[in-house]
Amino acid sequence: MKSSIQKLRRKAAKSQGGQSFYCQQPMWETDPKIFSERFRVPARAVFLFQCTAEHLVARCDGGRDTKENIVAACLYCNKIATGRSGQKMPYPKETCPITDEAGSVAP
């Protein structure tokens, strides 16, 4: 049985067209190999595009697991791009560090 947060993440990913909330890059949920081949992402970098549940208001700040508070974000934007203060650093497609100058997934 899927947890509530998994269901919310899937719904968010679907409503976002499978793109990360912050950088608008495509994400994978179930098969990194297919994703890697489709988008020509090197195997060593494909994990950065895994779909994760992101709380807009962090749990530690009172955020809850609700559809209004959960968005889908790639692992890079959700975990790696989080500043020490907990502030998210959203990246527009054109400036996301995991994309090239044209806003496409960087190899």
Q: How far apart are CA 52 and CA 92, in angstroms?
A: 18
Specify the pTM: 0.78
Task: Give pLDDT tens digits along the chain (107 positions).
Answer: 468 999 999 999 999 999 999 888 999 999 999 999 998 888 888 999 999 999 988 888 899 999 999 999 999 888 876 554 455 555 555 556 565 555 555 55
For residue 77, the number of C-alpha atoms closer than 13 Å in the C-beta half-sphere is 30
Residue 57 to residue 40: CA distance in whole angstroms = 33
Are 85 and 60 in contact, with CB atoms under 8 Å apart? no
Q: Distance of CA 13 to CAs 42, 55, 68, 92, 93, Å? A: 22, 13, 13, 17, 17
Check: CB of residue 90 under 8 Å from CB of residue 77: yes
- Residue 57 is predicted with a pLDDT of 87
Q: What is the pLDDT of residue 85?
A: 46
Q: Under a CB-based contact definition with an 8 Å cutoff, are residues 54 and 71 in contact? A: yes
Domains annotated for the chain, with CATH where assigned, are 4-80 (1.10.30)
